[in-house]
Amino acid sequence: MEKEKKSEIIELSGIISQNFSQLSPGFLINKDDIKNIEELKKYLSGKIKVLLNEKFDSLFNLLYRIDVEDKKIEEVFSKEKKDDIPGSIANLIIERQLQKIHYRKIYKEGNL
């Protein structure tokens, strides 16, 4: 894996850990355990599944704070099978956080 990609995954894991630690104390993604986006998605999906069952409203508040589009969330709940929802939400979170990382990088470089 390229160094830049690994650093992006570490940054992404840190941001997601920070977001979720507000809902689930002790939610921490060990940067050495996550080697790629698929592993992160799998880990995050498991946590989202628990939150969907135990802290549904809190999960939605978190999605709002992360700035995941309402329309995309509605699509997930209307079109996905129940078992696929956690993975789809994980994808939305990862996608949005990667966008933020990309825009921060562009801004720092003065290209925005």
Q: Is the pLDDT of residue 86 over 80?
A: yes
Tokens of 61: 């508040």
The angle formed by the CA atoms of residues 89, 91 and 92, to the nearest 5 degrees, is 65
Residue 105, classed as helix, strand or coil, is: helix
pLDDT per position as a tens digit, 46-85: 999 999 999 999 999 999 999 999 999 999 999 889 999 9
| pLDDT over 60 at 4, yes or no | no
Instruction: Give the predicted TM-score (pTM) of the model.
Output: 0.86
CB 8 within 8 A of CB 101: yes
Fill in the DSSP letter of residue 84: G
Q: Domain ranges in the chain?
A: 3-109
- Give the tokens for residue 100: 């933020």
What is the pLDDT averaged over residues 9-15? 87
pLDDT attached to residue 84: 95
Query: Any idea which of 12-21, 25-34, 48-57 has the lowest mean pLDDT?
Result: 25-34
Query: Encoding tokens for residue 84?
Result: 């696929």
